Amino acid sequence: MKILITGAKGQLGTQIICILKSMKSELGSISSAYKNADIVGVDIDELDIANLKAAREYITNVKPDIIINSAAYTHVDDCETNEDIAFKANTIGPRNLAIVSEELGAKLIHISTDYVFAGDGTKPYREYDLPNPKSVYGSTKYLGEEYVKQFSSKYFIVRTAWLYGYYGNNFVKTIMKAAKEKGKLDVVNDQRGNPTNAEDLCFHLLKLALTEEYGIYHCTGKGECSWYDFACKIVEYANINCIVNPTTSDKINRAAKRPLFSSLDNMMLRCTVGDEMRHWEDALKIFIQNVK
């Protein structure tokens, strides 16, 4: 088995490779089918997936059985002013991977986001709910999904949210650092979603990859909270002496509109391969114990 991972130097790509090499995650061991897998990790400095000719040449040479696309332009506010960059990474790149994976008969796992939804609902979004993105980031990711569906017949589109992991920068690490340095933080309390540990997401991506349960999936930590709730738990579990105050989105000047309610329901997981995602508080507690 040969697995190609794009965005291999990002927090998710790095985590997937580590789990594949160790054959285990915090949720347990992964399938023995991965034991002798040939893992090829690639990032933007080696391959620009937005270049179809380059992508076709590189991937055809690798001949992967599975492609996991964790490459994306995720700077949400910067996407508003760098639309072409966002479009290439989040839309054209996935399209190219879908085209080439279909030519090779490879499975494609494409990572997407809760930002494809408007965020004006009151109950968790399910896979059959219609996307209606309100930002350039969300719009480019949504069109990327559409191209994957259009050009690939063996795809898993996996939407996740509020992701944090052991590698790279993320909200948990930012809050821990800021809490230690400042002792007082203001965090928005009017945006709700699902904190997701990268360990849990990777475990499920690898579980899906061995099946033919193709389609769109939501894969987030169980339970929901606000960013303020999330920050409070981070400070509590890290045992940092810091006051966290709630604030509202309108008091923070940001270029991109954030979804106020983007909680996702892992319905497809439950109904197919099984939803073993941890509750967000449990996963966060283990994460902080390990990073400390």
List the one residue out of 115, 101, 106 whose CA is nearest residue 147: 101
Look up residue 42 and give its two tokens: 């690639």
CB 266 within 8 A of CB 275: yes
Burial of 264 (0-12, 13-18, 19+ CB in 10 A): buried
Q: Token pair 């965090």 is at which residue? A: 187
Three-class SS state of 216:
strand
**Torsion sign over Cα 102, 129, 279, 9:** positive
217 as an active site residue: the answer is: no
Q: Where are the beta strands (DSSP E) in the chain?
A: 2-6, 24-25, 28-29, 38-42, 66-69, 107-113, 155-160, 163-164, 184-188, 192-193, 196-197, 215-218, 225-226, 243-247
CA end-to-end span of the chain: 36
How far, in Å, CA of 206 to CA of 4, rounded? 12
Instruction: Find the catalytic residue in 137, 142, 164, 228.
Output: 137
Active site residues: 137
